[in-house]
Amino acid sequence: MSQVSSGAATAPGGGPTAARHQPSTAGAFIALLTRLHFYVGLFVGPFILVAAITGTLFVVTPQIESRIYADALYSDASGPAHSLTEQIAAAQAVVGPDDKLFAVRPAPRAGMTSRIMFSEPRLQATAQQRAIFVDPVTLAVKGDVNVYGTSGTLPFRTTLDFLHRDLMLGELGRNYSELAASWLWFAALGGIILWWQASRRERLAGRAGTGTRARLRRWHSVIGLWIAIGLFFLSATGLTWSRWAGGNIDVARAKLGWVSPSLGTKLGPQALPAAPDAHAGHEGHEGHAMPSMGAAMNMAASPDAGAPPARGSQAALPLPIDNHATRFDAIERTARQAGIDATEIEIRPPRKPDQAWTVRETDRAWPTQVDAIAIDGRDLSIVSRADFATVPLIAKLIRWGIDTHMGILFGWVNQLLMALFGIALSAMVVLGYAMWWRRRPAPGAPVLTVTQAWTRLGYGARGGVAALAAAVGWALPALGVSLVVFLLVDILRWRLAARGLQRTATPARA
């Protein structure tokens, strides 16, 4: 948020030569960067500060959430667990007829409850489900709360999540977090360049600045340098969730092949007892092609003798199709035999008659266990699978980056690191405002605008900067639109300043 001089020079004889002096391209570029850095700090700083505070609260509260909902999450009962079918029946007894069974997350370990999740019409617009927490030993209902997202976030952290993402304002509010993420990397990069320039100037002068503002600037710079890599990381991973830039990132990832394989769930016509068609069930699949769904795949997925029979064999007996709740146990056994070995899994029944069941691992800590498998509920054959081990390296890095951003990947160490980044970033924004306040221009005082700095660049430099700004603005629409707003405000300031100079110059000429 520092400001630079207007660039006026004095000739050796003492006469002012500001009108004739043309600064170097490097000097003009630094002046332009300084003004843009100032605008970002002044206008985007509040959004960055809110994102930093709410993000910090989100990553440090999993343990608090566990305590708040301890009665629903944990159980003191000991003994053999009832079947998932019985647990689902216990949950269905307390929900209304309009609630549809959405998914089941079996208790991951002894002393924890199972989540039986239902879709409710009132929750469809918020990507939330109603979760009934059932003690697998006693079948007692321990809790009834709404959960959100693939991580099954409970209400306390869901509120913080929505605050961080959209300020509880829905799609309109998402623009705030995208604006913050879009400019954060630029603020960090510009700050590094300006720090280097200021340090160089101080070395040439043989002394460092003194006074309160100089101390504030040093603290602002030191903190920024220490967390610079983290700021680039937060900006990049935050943009992957954004509405506009995130869409562009998804398109680029798809074109470059940096995406995780999709899990095909479309079923073909069942062949009992005829031999299966080698291509059945592959219509509409996305991602990489899956092997045929005959006996060979079942043997590869489940080589032991207790594996479910292959599709098309005489022994394959279809399960009833009128009651999904009775098939969760069979689906879970099939998935376990096929290599789904994480303690935390989610089982989803098909939404349509021609879709397969899906079983996904949901443990995104280290080591990451997010394999998924699709199972034909009619004969328990494997339809397709998506293993994390086969995901391209770049897609893995993106997955790990997002989980690190959320404080999930490395447990409490990850939480502590992200909290420190959030606190440091908040301190940087506050220090920046303190610097500006101590050196804010007096009313009517001349200030250097972006437009003035722009005119000092050579024609070639102007073209290069304009092309770069257009490319970045297209890739990051929130940055592009806000940059146009900054320039409009700046041009207005430039015009007003020019009129003020004309008015002050007129009496002197008279």
Express each pLDDT in 363-397 by its tens digit: 999 999 999 999 999 999 999 999 999 999 999 99
Which band of pLDDT confidence, cut at 50, 70 and 90, is reported for residue 114? very high
Query: How far is 244 from 173, CA to CA, in rounded Å?
Result: 13
Measure the CA dihedral 98/101/105/110, to 10°. 70
Q: Tell me if residue 274 falls in helix, strand or coil.
A: coil
- Residue at 450: amino acid letter: V
The predicted-structure confidence for 207-259, as pLDDT tens digits, reads as follows: 777 788 889 999 999 999 999 999 999 999 999 999 999 999 999 999 998 98
Q: Is the pLDDT of residue 130 over 90?
A: yes
pLDDT at position 66:
93
pLDDT of residue 289: 34
| Cβ atoms of 118 and 102 closer than 8 Å | yes
Domain 74-153, architecture per CATH:
Roll (3.10)
- What's the average model confidence in pLDDT over 95-104? 90
Domain ranges in the chain? 27-56+172-249+415-474, 74-153, 263-391
Positive or negative: CA dihedral 73, 77, 81, 83: negative
Average of per-residue pLDDT values in the chain: 83
Question: pTM of the prediction?
Answer: 0.81
The pair of three-digit structure tokens given for residue 427, joined into one six-digit string: 């301190």
Single-letter residue type at 441: P
Is residue 27 pLDDT above 90, yes or no? Answer: no
